[in-house]
Structures are given as structure tokens and as C-alpha cells.
Amino acid sequence: MNETAGTGRPVKWLGVTNDDRGTERGVISGASLRRDPRMADARFRVVVDRVRRQIVSRGRGPLIAILMGVSGPVIVFGSIKLRVPLTVAVLVIVLLAVVVGRLLVLRGRRRSAPAVSTVMLADGLCPACSYSFAGLGPAEDGCFECPECGAAWNASRVVRRTHFEEVAGTGFAAPVRWWQRIGGHMGLRRLKDDRGHEGPAADARLREALRATSDPDRRARLLSARRRTTRDGVILRVALFLLYSGLAGFQVWLLLPQLRSRPYSVMGVLMIVGAFGFLWLAQAFLRSNAGIRGKTLRFEMLSRALCPRCAADLTGLVPEPDGCLVCRECAAAWKPPLAAPADFASPPVVVEARA
């Protein structure tokens, strides 16, 4: 679906890029991809997760979450001090959250449009409408012409033309839900490879990679990397969990007098919803990547021959002249660690690349 707002031209603030014939094209949204029936295919879900990480890595999720969490109590206390109805204060908080959240998403889409195009083209998907190029041949100028939206993309940008299955009903793992995806906005989001190129870091929880793999050896390495990586920053995540849980408890304490006098008031309902919102933020921080350092993710993943960007398997790769292994999936270049850093007391066994 090419997003044009009814004008026939792509809307720039929704994310645009030029195709390989110089025509401006709107880039499909993550929400549209998640509604695609091909989400039944684990390989398609991996592509969608890479698109999501490109958008998230260019946002300001952690800062916005903390500011919104702090501004809530400030607005409530200010309303009490100024004798403004608490209903108004809660409505202001909700409105701010909706507006800021939407602006955050739009900013990420706009800034990530070229990178999202590269990710989708790597698997033979049109960035404008997600049409698959599997079975198509390039035109005389070397471009794939999308029969659905008319966009043209250079065939050299297509790494593989994957045929994704459309499976209706059950029988496949459900995609990661929005309340689970929110954790990806908190913490490490971008990482440089050993050639200095920056890109989105893998989700330290490795949710989609674990869902997509059927190889028991790779699954064991992914689980081991997740277990070791998520030890980093655990004190920060627990502290944030306690902070937001405390804010939820404080809001309930403020609500008790209101419930005694007017148990069914609109204000009471709104404050209960607000308390649940703080509890949700608390668990989101606890399950997030907050506090996980890039060097930790990098070491633990490379030690198990996994790409720190996309969690792809690096075994079987031949080092290039500069000693780097180039990931088949995301083209990131990595030098496998020769020894554990001093701050790792019990390093895992390094999985060597096989020529």
C-alpha cells in the first residue's frame, strides 16, 4: 500500500524515498506489514522485525518514556496545588502521551525510509507496497518493475527473492504483540560494526530470531546469548520497575479518598486507568533492553557466531582480507573476539567460523 493521502503523491512526513529511476515513492508502514497475511511465515516476520528496528533505532523512545513518566506526577501535583480538577490533569496526560507517541512514530518512519527500503529489497520485497519479486525478471535497465505500484528497483539490491507463504488460520507462532515490541524502544538501539558502519542493534531479547529458527544448535546459542546479555543493566531495569510501580501505588493512595466519597466518579475511573498505565510501564522497563551496553551485546553474540545486528548465523563464513566476517543477511562486518574482555569472569566458548 503506497501512502499518498489521496493526492497521488507520497506524503513526506510518512516516509518517502526515491526508487532507482528517480521517482519519489512512499515507503510502506510497519503497521501495514504486520497486517499482511504473510506474517504467518516466520521468514516474513523476521523481515518485518528488521523494518521495525530500523524505525525504532531512529526514534527517542527511552527519553520520551521517562519524560512522560515523570510529567504525569508533576501534572497531578500541579493540579492539586492550583486546585484544577484532577480529571483535567489526567486528560492532559493522556493527550500528551497520544500526541508525543504519534510524533515519535512519524519521526522514525521519515528518517528510516531509505534504510527500510534496503532491508525490504534484500528479501525481494517492494518497499512501497511489499509486493514480492519472486518469479519476476528484471527489465532492460536492470530494474525490477513492481506490477502493483509501478516502482522500479535495481536488481543488484535484491540479495534473495524469497517466496513467502500466506497461511490462514492457526498453526504458526503469533507475532510479537505491540505491548512486547515497546521494550525495543528502551535501551540499546544502534551499533557500529568493525568497518565503522552504524545500524540497528539486534533486540537483546532475540524474540523474533528464536521464533523463526528451527535449528536446535542455533536456538541453543541464541538462548545462551540472551541469558548472558540480559544480565547487563539488570539493576537499572529493576530500579525503573520499582519506580513506576511506586508511582502506581502512589496514584492509588491519592485515589482512596475519592473512592470513599464518590466511588463511581469519572475521575476515579481515569486514575485507576492511570495506575494501570504506570504498572504497564514498570513491566515494560523490566522486560526491555534498558541498560544493556553495546559491547556486551557485541561480545556475547559474536562469541556464539551470531550477528549482533540481525542475529543471523555467522558459521561457515570465510573471513575477508581485513579479517571481517560479512553477515549474509544484513552485510554488517565483524571480527570474531579472540579473547574475553577483563570484565567477563566466565566467558563462553567461542564458536569459530568454518571455511
DSSP annotation string for 240-273: HHHHHHHHHHHHHHHHHHHHHH-TT-HHHHHHHH
Q: What is the dihedral of CA 88, 89, 95, 98, to 10 degrees?
A: -150
Q: What pLDDT, in 10s, does the model give residues 14-55?
A: 678 888 888 888 888 877 888 888 887 877 888 888 888 787
**Beta-carbon count within 10 A of 353 CB:** 15
pLDDT tier at 80, thresholds 50, 70, 90: confident
Q: Which of 3-12, 145-154, 238-247, 331-340 has the lowest mean pLDDT?
A: 3-12
Q: Which residues, 6+ apart, have CB-to-CB distance to 256 below 8 Å? A: none
For range 53-59, the mean pLDDT: 74
Classify residue 53: in a domain, yes or no.
yes
pLDDT tier at 354, thresholds 50, 70, 90: very low
* Whether 276 contacts 248, CB under 8 Å: yes
The alpha carbon dihedral of 22, 24, 28, 29 has a sign of positive
Q: What pLDDT, in 10s, does the model give residues 274-285?
A: 788 788 888 888
The continuous run of DSSP H or E covering 199 comes out as strand 198-200
Task: Please report the pLDDT score of residue 319 as a whole number.
Answer: 87
Classify residue 354: in a domain, yes or no.
no
Classify residue 124: in a domain, yes or no.
yes
What is the rounded end-to-end Cα distance, in angstroms, of the chain?
42
Q: Does pLDDT of 312 surpass 70?
A: yes
Task: Please report the pLDDT score of residue 42 as a whole number.
Answer: 77
Task: Please report the pLDDT score of residue 227 as a whole number.
Answer: 92
Cα(301)–Cα(336) distance, rounded to whole angstroms? 10
Write down the residue that cell numbers 509486493 correspond to: 131
- The count of domains in the chain is 1
Task: Please report the pLDDT score of residue 346 as a whole number.
Answer: 39
69 or 84: which carries more pLDDT confidence?
84
For range 301-317, the mean pLDDT: 88
Q: Does pLDDT of 137 surpass 60?
A: yes
Classify residue 211: in a domain, yes or no.
no
Question: Percentage of residues in the chain with pLDDT exceeding 90?
Answer: 10
Q: Which residues, 6+ apart, have CB-to-CB distance to 89 below 8 Å? A: 75, 76, 78, 79
Task: Please report the pLDDT score of residue 111 as a whole number.
Answer: 79
Q: What pLDDT, in 10s, does the model give residues 205-259?
A: 887 788 778 888 989 999 999 999 999 989 989 998 998 898 888 878 877 777 6
Cα(289)–Cα(286) distance, rounded to whole angstroms? 8
Q: Counting runs of H as helices and runs of E as strands, what totals does the chain give?
A: 10, 8
For the chain, state the CA radius of gyration: 23
**Beta-carbon count within 10 A of 179 CB:** 11
User: Which contacts (CB < 8 Å, 24+ apart) does range 212-215 have?
Assistant: 212/42, 212/43, 212/45, 212/46, 215/313
Task: Please report the pLDDT score of residue 169 as a whole number.
Answer: 46
Q: Does pLDDT of 69 surpass 70?
A: no
Classify residue 70: in a domain, yes or no.
yes
Q: Does pLDDT of 5 surpass 60?
A: no
* Whether 132 contacts 124, CB under 8 Å: yes
* Whether 57 contacts 190, CB under 8 Å: yes
Which range of residues forms the domain containing residue 27?
Answer: 1-155
pLDDT, the chain, mean: 77
* Whether 279 contacts 249, CB under 8 Å: no
pLDDT tier at 263, thresholds 50, 70, 90: low
Task: Please report the pLDDT score of residue 152 as a whole number.
Answer: 92
When mean pLDDT is compared over 63-67, 99-103, 159-163, the highest value belongs to 159-163
Three cell numbers, residue 90: 489526567
**Beta-carbon count within 10 A of 243 CB:** 17
**Cross-strand partners of 326:** 333
Task: Please report the pLDDT score of residue 355 as a whole number.
Answer: 36
DSSP state of 13: G
Burial of 335 (0-12, 13-18, 19+ CB in 10 A): middle
315 or 258: which carries more pLDDT confidence?
315
Classify residue 175: in a domain, yes or no.
no
Classify residue 188: in a domain, yes or no.
no
Classify residue 93: in a domain, yes or no.
yes
Write phi, then psi, for 123 (nearest 5 degrees): -100, 20
Cα(52)–Cα(92) distance, rounded to whole angstroms? 29
When mean pLDDT is compared over 3-7, 101-105, 249-253, the highest value belongs to 249-253
